[in-house]
A and B are shown apart, each in its own frame.
Chain A
């Protein structure tokens, strides 16, 4: 099968102060090809696609599109050449409706009425039904992604770049998306698909380029390789899955009963009568597509959001009205998803950030006066135990890479001999080796008798470390079930199926 070449990237290099993001990267995509860009976090995938989309200029190297030199100065130029991109983080206005959001992303939007009918036509043609008049704030994450995709499709792209598109989707929604992408590819649109989910890539992609530390380490045909082989190419080492101790469960340490609270976040999700119990030594995994109440649940458990006194109990004591400090005193630690600004103060040093949540349990103050030497020792301990890569403890938190800060934040909480642990997205943005060590640390705490709640959008992660499994869907939690014996289909249904879009592909 020889299709005409669409995009060729040759010897592209891009360096940032202190790090070479891309070094002599070359690959090519043919028309209608679904090409995977594989690599760990920090391997240079994002930088590479930003160059193709005109957000970043390469230091050296060249790109050609349809044989002609391609040097987009800005995304507008890239779009004009037929390159479109769907970002991992959506750029949508929640207070505007679908059609208005689409119009904002177009150079010369047609009149609203015409645009609305075109949105309807295109979205139905590709099996992604959308109501142009709905407010984006009311849409699920999967539906929001459809708005982004439809916005790209209206421009009739020759190359569609998708950055981690499935991280916000349920398994059923992933199937629908893949059907759409296959249809696009059969019509000649090339797709550059960025992911680190290997089974997806095997199912969808024709070719794969694997990046490691900014360099192309391999190109392969995903269907001919096993997921394990590709993972080892990505990481450059053999992987060992974390070991489960599987010890006996103790008494209930954290009990949530009928927890209902309104969200403090605009367009947030109200928690509706959430109930679950976690015993000592148990890991409860809570899955769900982003924006279904994960942030609110963490706030309600950490004590930043107060609820009815009896709604949350730690070791039997009602703490619904207790703030974060009182809950920490009872042994509960928590790690929010947003690292910079919530879990850590960006402009403060790592020592100060160690004090932020560690002051009480680590006894870092005496009559209110801070023991800086002891705090420094605590910070150094976290850095050493969790392999945080930093020039020192006096560095501002914002100077750390996302993955390193994540290791620091999770490490800070796990180092406080907690009896109850609540973590949202423990390994978000962390490379595979570090993710494995964070998971291992969580399992070790559980084996030591801590009750653990892990909220995550990474199903593989949850299935790997959780004993029981529940899913958040529009602020409601399904009853927890033991992980053993759960099928992916069942999990998908617990997560809310395809949010009412099962009909989407019946016609095809």
Chain B
């Protein structure tokens, strides 16, 4: 008989060890799945985890992609994690990400073809503002009318997606684009572009912003009273009221930060790797970032690692698809296993497993 027993305090050892254990378990379970599909499991796992970074044939392309993909995931997830810590559920980062791209690109394109040093900084501010204002809608509706921020922020995503389509076909369409949908290419407009800063690394301003956000969030949560109040409000809302935390202010703050960071991610993406506003502008980061936030235990350092790991499985997964002919569904199942094992073994940090007879009847 297996029994779970709650630990008096969470185990520090298991908090560190569970992610490693989860990756090992995923490799075993995933390997079995790949073997069942008739592929060599060792080769498949090597293709996913090792080749993107170290295979001389692919690494030149794949390695920079790691930061390009991880950057926006980390930036958005760090913002979301603050709200999630406080029990404020912003599910609409995808919409805030799109709005940040639209606002930022709009400001940049308004100056085209002028060359001023201030254009890109202005775009950064506009991108953050776009994400922030989109997050303020569910935030204010929640604080004024007690609506559910999960629903409202999610529905705002669909509005943003339609705006994106409308903008790339209308207002922001490239007048010299021969009628094709999509804006001018910002990466070919130096004053508004977000270039790769060090060749061959994938490092751009958005990745730097992500690292800064990780450090700032870490300091906020560990050292600042505001971070303490965020954690308190999430763990014990009544105790937070007792401590003097203003719930309205906290909702506005957390939604605002997560919206602004998602908007920034959108701006850096549109002015850098994507280059232009288009109907199929690199979307999906806003939703994947929710997974990254939880994978990283809502902890900034954890999110940094989770974002890199998630990016790696995406890049490696694509590689495995065309190198080994693995079906896309198998890759998704593999990613799902990773998430499953991470969350499942997390139980060990709060509970210990006891084997043997029960000492006490269940209540």
Q: Is the C-beta of B179 less than 8 angstroms from some C-beta in chain A?
A: no
Cβ-defined contact, A395 with B244, below 8 A: no
**A448 at interface by CB-CB < 8 Å:** no
Q: Which of B127-135, B224-232, B253-261 contacts A (4 or more CB under 8 A)?
A: B224-232
* In the complex, chain B residues whose CB is within 8 Å of the CB of A406: none
Interface residues on A, range: 35 or more
Q: A73-B361, A304-B241 are in contact. List 19 more A-B contacts (CB 8 A).
A: A55-B361, A57-B359, A324-B241, A328-B244, A341-B239, A342-B238, A344-B236, A345-B235, A345-B236, A348-B235, A348-B236, A352-B228, A356-B232, A356-B243, A368-B224, A368-B226, A370-B223, A370-B224, A399-B9
Shortest Cβ distance from residue A377 to the other chain B in the assembled complex, whole angstroms: 17
Residue-by-residue, is A362-387 near B (CB-CB < 8 Å gives 1, otherwise 0)? 00010011101000000000000000
How far is the CB of B177 from the nearest CB of chain A, in Å? 49
List chain A residues, Cβ under 8 A from B231: 348
Docked CA distance A394–B9 (Å): 9
Shortest Cβ gap from A393 to chain B (Å): 12
- With contacts A57-B360, A304-B241 taken as known, whether A369 is within 8 angstroms of B232 at the C-beta atoms is no
Can you list 7 contacts pairing A with B, beta carbon distance less than 8 Å? A55-B363, A302-B242, A334-B242, A348-B235, A356-B232, A368-B224, A369-B224
A355 within 8 A of B: yes
Pick from B239, B244, B360: contact of A344, CB below 8 A: B239
Q: Does A345 contact B239, Cβ atoms closer than 8 Å?
A: yes
Supposing A55-B363, A304-B241, A396-B8 touch, asked if A359 and B225 sit within 8 A by C-beta, the answer is yes
- B235/A323 in contact, CB under 8 A: no
Residues of B within 8 A of A304 (CB): 241-242
The answer to the question of A209 belonging to the interface, with a C-beta cut-off of 8 Å to chain B, is: no
A residues in contact with B232, CB < 8 Å:
345, 348, 356
Does the CB pair B228–A370 fall under 8 Å?
Answer: yes
Given known contacts A73-B361, A356-B232, A395-B8, is B241 in contact with A343 (CB within 8 Å)?
no
Task: Report chain B residues within 8 Å CB of A359.
Answer: 225, 243
Q: Would you list which residues of chain A between 267 and 293 have a CB under 8 Å from chain B?
A: none
Q: Which residues of the other chain, B, contact A355 by a CB distance below 8 angstroms?
A: 225, 228
Nearest Cβ distance between residue A385 and chain B, in whole angstroms? 22
A346–B225 contact, CB under 8 A? no
- Asked if residues B242 and A343 are in contact (CB atoms below 8 Å), the reply is yes
> B246 an interface residue at 8 Å Cβ cutoff?
yes
Cβ contact within 8 Å between B238 and A338:
yes
**A24 CB → nearest B CB, Å:** 18
Across the interface, B244 reaches (CB within 8 A) one of A55, A324, A345, A394, namely A324
Task: Tell me whether B9 and A336 are in contact (CB under 8 A).
Answer: no
Are A399 and B8 in contact, CB atoms less than 8 angstroms apart? yes
Complex contacts, A219 vs chain B, CB 8 Å: none
Bound state CA distance, A341 and B241, in angstroms? 11
Within 8 A of B (CB), among A5-55: 54-55
Task: Looking at the assembled complex, report how far the CB atom of B354 sits from the nearest CB atom of chain A, in whole angstroms.
Answer: 10
In this assembly, does A59 line the interface, its C-beta being within 8 Å of a C-beta of chain B?
yes
Q: Give B residues with C-beta under 8 Å from A.
A: 8-10, 223-226, 228, 231-232, 235-236, 238-239, 241-244, 246, 359-361, 363
Residue of B223, B228, B241, B242 with highest tally of chain A CB at under 10 A: B242
Q: A325-350 interface mask toward B, CB cutoff 8 Å, 1 = contact, 0 = none?
A: 10010000010101001111111100
Indicate whether A457 reaches chain B with its CB closer than 8 angstroms. no
A359 to B226, CA, bound (A): 12
Q: How far is the CA of A447 from the CA of B243 in the complex (A)?
A: 27
- Which chain A residues lie closer than 8 Å to B226 at the CB level? 368
Return chain A residues, CB-CB under 8 Å to B224.
368-370
Task: Report the bound CA distance from A472 to B231 in whole Å.
Answer: 36
A342-B360 in contact (CB<8A) = no
A315: which B residues are within 8 A, CB to CB?
Answer: none
Q: From known contacts A59-B359, A369-B223, infer whether A336 and B244 are also in contact, taking CB-CB under 8 Å.
A: no
Q: Which 9 A-B pairs have the closest CB atoms?
A: A325-B244, A399-B8, A324-B244, A345-B236, A342-B238, A396-B9, A345-B239, A356-B243, A365-B225
Q: Are B239 and A342 interface neighbours, CB within 8 A? A: yes
The yes or no answer to A56 lying at the interface (CB within 8 A) is yes
- Which residues from chain A contact B242 at a C-beta distance below 8 Å? 302, 304, 324, 334, 336, 342-343, 356-357
Most B Cβ at <10 Å: residue of A336, A346, A370, A396: A370
Does A74 make an interface contact (CB < 8 A)? Answer: yes
Q: B309: shortest Cβ distance to chain A, in Å?
A: 26
Q: Give Cα distance in the complex from A79 to B357, angstroms.
A: 26
Chain A residues near B239 (CB-CB < 8 A): 341-345, 356
- State which of B10, B225, B238, B361 has its C-beta within 8 Å of the C-beta of A341: B238
CA distance A302 to B238 in the complex (A): 13
Query: Which residues does chain B contribute within 8 Å of A302, judged by CB atoms?
Result: 242
Chain A's nearest CB lies how many Å from the CB of B296?
A: 19
Residue of B nearest to A359 (CB): B225
A394 to B8, CA, bound (A): 12
Please name the residue on chain B nearest to A298 by beta carbon. B242
Residues of B within 8 A of A348 (CB): 231-232, 235-236
Contact (Cβ within 8 A) B235 A370: no
- Cα A359 to Cα B228 in complex, Å, equals 11
Bound: A367/B38 CA distance, A:
61
Name the B residues within 8 Å of A343 (CB-CB): 239, 242
Task: Please give the distance in Å from A405's CB to the nearest CB on chain B.
Answer: 12
- A381-422 residues at the B interface, CB under 8 angstroms: 394-396, 398-399
**Bound: A370/B222 CA distance, A:** 8
**B241 contacts A57, CB within 8 Å?**
no
The residue in chain B whose Cβ has the minimal distance to the Cβ of A264 is B241
CB distance from B233 to the nearest CB of A (A): 10
Provide the bound-state CA to CA distance between A191 and B238, in Å. Answer: 39
- Give every chain A residue within 8 A of B361 (Cβ-Cβ): 54-57, 73-74
Q: Tell me the complex Cα distance, A170–B11, Å.
A: 46
Residues of B within 8 A of A59 (CB): 359
Minimum C-beta distance from A332 to chain B (A): 12
Q: What is the minimal beta-carbon distance from A40 to any residue of chain B, in angstroms?
A: 23
